[in-house]
Structures are given as structure tokens and as C-alpha cells.
Amino acid sequence: MVPRFCVQCGQMLQERRLQGDHRVRRVCPACGHVAYENAKPCAGVLPTRDGQVLLARRAVEPYLGRWDIIGGFLEHDETPDAAATREAFEETGLTLVLLDLLGIYTDVYGSNGYSTLNIYYIARITAGQPNPADDVVELAWFHPDTLPDAMAFPNHTHHVLSDWARWLRSSATVQQSRKRL
């Protein structure tokens, strides 16, 4: 969301380029406060089992009814790994152990237009059975070749799932090499 008014004094912000800055920023003409538009941190998790990933069908906007990677926004006092496991438990009832950091991706959240910084982990289930809850209406397992086309947040989720499939192939290669030893 692009701020229109100064949070310090309430004056309407103006766009201008600050000295030494290559971007146009929103600046308060009265007090000089700069309203930086920083990305909101999010964390997600890809529970993986038998070459499949668990995805969630969204029960809320944005992207109501589309498949999504399990995850959400970090709380103010939370680390990304704690947020990923908390979101997984809230949305699925599953307890997970994080195996690997898959990657970090940027996007824009829905019609609000604010930037997100999305941190994704590969995980294994340690307890529980998948049960949709919170803002999820359905959960399902997908192989890399049967992933749904209509994904939520398509600017980055397709990249995440492509990276997950690559991780899965490399993980399988390592497992095969260990069996030969």
C-alpha cells in the first residue's frame, strides 16, 4: 500500500528524488519524513512426502479458490522459520521439521499493492494428519508433473514450485548415490 500522508505529522506526502538516491520517494514537505515502501516479510513451507508437495486451496481473498503454498506473514517478533512452522500448523494441523531453505522471492500482495519478501522452506511432516483450517478450504498432494495451473500469487509461486521440483530431483539423485555406496 502506498502511503499518502505522513505518519509523523499528517501532511500529504510528495514524490521527489532525494540527493544520492536513485529512486523517487514519498517525502513529507513539512517535517522531511521519508515514507519508505519496504517489503513485508512472509514465510512459507513446502511439506514434501513421496515426491509430492502439499498445497492449500485458499478460502479467502486474494486469489480465493486458487491453490497456494502454505504460509503467511511474519509476526513482529517472529523468525521466518518459526513463522513457516506456525503457519503450517494453523493452516493444516501438521507439525513439521524444516529440512532446507528453498529460496527467497519477491512479489506484490493482492490489490493492496504492497511488496512482499517471501521465504520458503522444504519440510517433512513429523506429526498430525492434513486437515484444512484457518484460511484454507482444501489440502492436496501434488507431483511435480501434476501441479495446478491456477496458482495464487502467480508472479512467484510458479518459480517456487519449479525450484522445489529441481530440489526434489537433486535430492533423489543424492539418495540414489548413497544407495550405491
Tell whether 87 and 124 lie within a shared domain: yes
Is 160 inside any structural domain? no
- Number of structural domains (the chain) is 2
Q: Is residue 177 pLDDT above 80, yes or no?
A: no
Residue 166 pLDDT grade (very low, low, confident, very high; cuts 50, 70, 90)? very high
The model's pTM is 0.88
Instruction: Return the C-alpha cell found at 180.
Output: 550405491
Tell whether 59 and 132 lie within a shared domain: yes
What average pLDDT does the chain have?
93
Of the ranges 81-85, 152-156, 168-172, 174-178, which one carries the lowest mean pLDDT score?
Answer: 174-178
pLDDT (tens digit per residue) in 105-137: 999 987 777 899 999 999 999 999 999 998 999
Query: What percent of the chain clears pLDDT 90, i.e. is strictly above it?
Result: 87
Nearest to 72 by CA among 35, 128, 99, 110: 110
Residue 4, domain extent:
1-37
Tell whether 45 and 88 lie within a shared domain: yes
By the 8 A CB rule, do 8 and 31 touch?
yes
Tell whether 140 and 59 lie within a shared domain: yes
Helix, strand, or coil (residue 83):
helix
What is the radius of gyration, based on Cα positions, of the chain?
A: 20
